[in-house]
Amino acid sequence: MRRPLVLIVEDESVVAMDIKEALLSLNYDVSGRAASAAEADELLQQKKPDLVLMDIYLEGEVDGIAAAAKIKEEYDVPVVFLTAYADKSTLDRAKVIEPYGYVLKPFRQTELRTVIELALHKHRSEQERAQAGPVEAVDERPRIEVPDFRSLVKSAHQPSHAMQVTIKNFLESIAPISDLSEEVLQGIASVCAVQSYPAHAVIVHEGAERKEGFIVMSGRVAVYKTSAGGKELVVELLGAADLFGFLTVLEKARFPFSARTQTVTRVLWVPREVIFYITDNYSEISRELFHRVLERLRKAHDLSRSLAHDKVEVRVASALCAMLQTLAEHSNGKSASPEFEMTRQELGELVGTTPETISRILNRMEDEGMVDLSNSGKVRIVDSKSLEEMLKNSMRGGK
């Protein structure tokens, strides 16, 4: 059986050699290595590869995204992007191309194989469907029974009618939960609870039994772990509509973290039985939720990689960019504010340094026009592009 033929488009020769060795060890053939979009076009015509591994950042006038767009238009070959770091605007451009996957550098061989195999499988399936021609759509999905949620969640406290309307409206604003029917959303709203907390209130204790998941409706929550020595380390910051506290209940073990409000915060508590009902009965919603888990894991890997950087400035820039992206993703369609509350202590815990060092770095960033610290206890990002450029240059070794 012929081994899949892969074209490498990477302008750094050392990186390209590492990729080639990894592909050969994984039982793929390599049709060659191109350092530019023009060279890639020549090799595509000559070698006719089965898949292209494309670095997003290429030297020259045409970057990897533009090159991938041309490949999609002129060749029937799947493209998988290679990247060490990409800012949000670059990723938004990449999504338009609809690549067959992403591989983050540095990569593990198992990750590389998984992405390539999924890309090849998806491409074969698309070709088979195209050859078979159009098929009349028939909805054979069985109607999902809507349970009596009051019976499903026996210990549920029933909120008032007005509160149920508030809960239902909030759930309708969160994808993919918003895909549930009106009847199901109404039933879920009848067994959830809303609670308001002052700033710095602990809402989840590490080791507590998971009976409910939570979603921040307004305000912000810090997720933290406690070390053996009793030190608290902030590991996540959750804004409105963030599903992290909702998804953690999918694992039946006790909470592996504590959670504390940073500001006056309103939280929606969702019974575990409701969460299991959704994941057990709605496969498309389940896939999207699990996709979000994997995306969260990818972001955690990105942050871990940035925290391994020698320069504390780069680690701080990475944490600030991650915060800004999280706020943008969970702004419910509104324009996300570039200002958020965060103490020097909390930011220091995120990046592994002291509050004194954080103060020095933030003051320097303020002098350079990247942030504004005029509001006590708050950080306002003024120039996100400069922060992203700092990260891009560091991850690419100044390339």
Q: What is the DSSP string of 237-298?
A: EE-TT--HHHHGGGS-S--SSEEEESSSEEEEEEEHHHHHHHHHH-HHHHHHHHHHHHHHHH
> Among candidates 9, 103, 85, 87, which has minimal Cα distance to 399?
85
Per-residue model confidence (pLDDT) at position 389: 82
pLDDT band, very low/low/confident/very high, at 333 (cuts 50, 70, 90): very low
For the stretch 275-327, pLDDT in tens is 989 988 888 888 888 777 777 666 665 655 555 555 788 878 877 877 776 66
Number of domains in the chain: 3
> Among candidates 220, 261, 214, 263, which has minimal Cα distance to 240?
220
Q: Are 315 and 352 in contact (CB under 8 A)?
A: yes
User: Hey, which of 125-129, 175-179, 234-238, 265-269 has the most confident mean pLDDT?
Assistant: 265-269
Per-residue model confidence (pLDDT) at position 44: 92
Q: Are 218 and 265 in contact (CB under 8 A)?
A: yes
CA-based Rg of the chain, rounded to a whole angstrom? 24
Q: Are 51 and 362 in contact (CB under 8 A)?
A: no
> Among candidates 68, 82, 79, which has minimal Cα distance to 111?
82
* Position 139 in a domain: no
**Same domain? 36 vs 88:** yes
**Same domain? 165 vs 237:** yes
Domain range for residue 246?
152-289
**Same domain? 126 vs 189:** no
> Among candidates 251, 188, 200, which has minimal Cα distance to 224?
200
**Torsion of the alpha carbons at 342, 335, 294 and 258, rounded to the nearest 10:** 30
* Position 189 in a domain: yes
Per-residue model confidence (pLDDT) at position 192: 92
Q: Are 342 and 323 in contact (CB under 8 A)?
A: yes
The owner of tokens 């706020």 is: 327
pLDDT band, very low/low/confident/very high, at 203 (cuts 50, 70, 90): very high
Q: What are phi and psi of 11, to 5 degrees?
A: -85, -5
**Same domain? 93 vs 202:** no
Per-residue model confidence (pLDDT) at position 158: 82
Got the DSSP string for 61-128? SS-HHHHHHHHHHH----EEEEES---HHHHHHHHHH--S-EEESS--HHHHHHHHHHHHHHHHHHHH
**Same domain? 165 vs 215:** yes
**Same domain? 14 vs 71:** yes
Among residues 97, 132, 167, the one where a domain terminates is: 132
For the stretch 245-279, pLDDT in tens is 888 777 667 888 899 998 899 999 999 899 989 98
**Same domain? 175 vs 125:** no
Query: pTM to 2 decimals?
Result: 0.53
Alpha-carbon span 103 to 298, nearest angstrom: 10
Q: Per the omega criterion (within 30 degrees of 0), is the bond before 106 cis?
A: yes
Q: Is 236 helix (H, G, I), strand (E, B) or coil?
A: strand
Q: Is 151 helix (H, G, I), strand (E, B) or coil?
A: helix
* Position 146 in a domain: no
* Position 157 in a domain: yes
**Same domain? 160 vs 281:** yes
Per-residue model confidence (pLDDT) at position 97: 80
Q: Are 11 and 38 in contact (CB under 8 A)?
A: no
**Same domain? 156 vs 280:** yes
Give percent of the chain with pLDDT exceeding 90: 25
Mean pLDDT of 186-211: 91
Q: Between 5 and 396, name the one with better pLDDT.
A: 5
Per-residue model confidence (pLDDT) at position 332: 47
Q: Are 68 and 93 in contact (CB under 8 A)?
A: no
**Same domain? 276 vs 173:** yes
Structure tokens at 184: 């199901």
For the stretch 97-156, pLDDT in tens is 888 888 877 777 877 888 898 889 888 888 888 887 765 555 554 567 888 888 888 766
pLDDT at 37 > cutoff 70: yes
* Position 20 in a domain: yes
Per-residue model confidence (pLDDT) at position 8: 94
* Position 87 in a domain: yes
Per-residue model confidence (pLDDT) at position 395: 57
Q: What is the mean pLDDT of the chain?
A: 82
Q: Are 58 and 37 in contact (CB under 8 A)?
A: yes
For the stretch 339-364, pLDDT in tens is 777 778 777 766 778 888 989 999 99
**Same domain? 123 vs 25:** yes
pLDDT at 178 > cutoff 50: yes
Q: Distance between alpha carbon 49 and the CA centroid of its chain, in Å?
A: 30
Per-residue model confidence (pLDDT) at position 298: 65
Among residues 85, 102, 132, the one where a domain terminates is: 132
Find the CATH number of the domain harbouring 92.
3.40.50.2300
Find the CATH number of the domain harbouring 331.
1.10.10.10
* Position 78 in a domain: yes
Alpha-carbon span 336 to 347, nearest angstrom: 20
**Same domain? 124 vs 189:** no
* Position 304 in a domain: no
Per-residue model confidence (pLDDT) at position 399: 43
Find the CATH number of the domain harbouring 257.
2.60.120.10
- Distances, alpha carbon 204 to alpha carbons 71, 241, 256, 288, 327, in Å: 50, 17, 10, 25, 22
152 by Cβ neighbours in 10 Å (0-12 / 13-18 / 19+) ranks as: middle
Of 5-19, 308-322, 364-378, least confident by mean pLDDT is 308-322
Spell out the residues 6+ positions from residue 137 whose beta carbon is closer than 8 angstroms to its own. Answer: none
Determine which helix (DSSP H) or strand (DSSP E) holds 213, and give its type and residue range.
Answer: strand 212-218
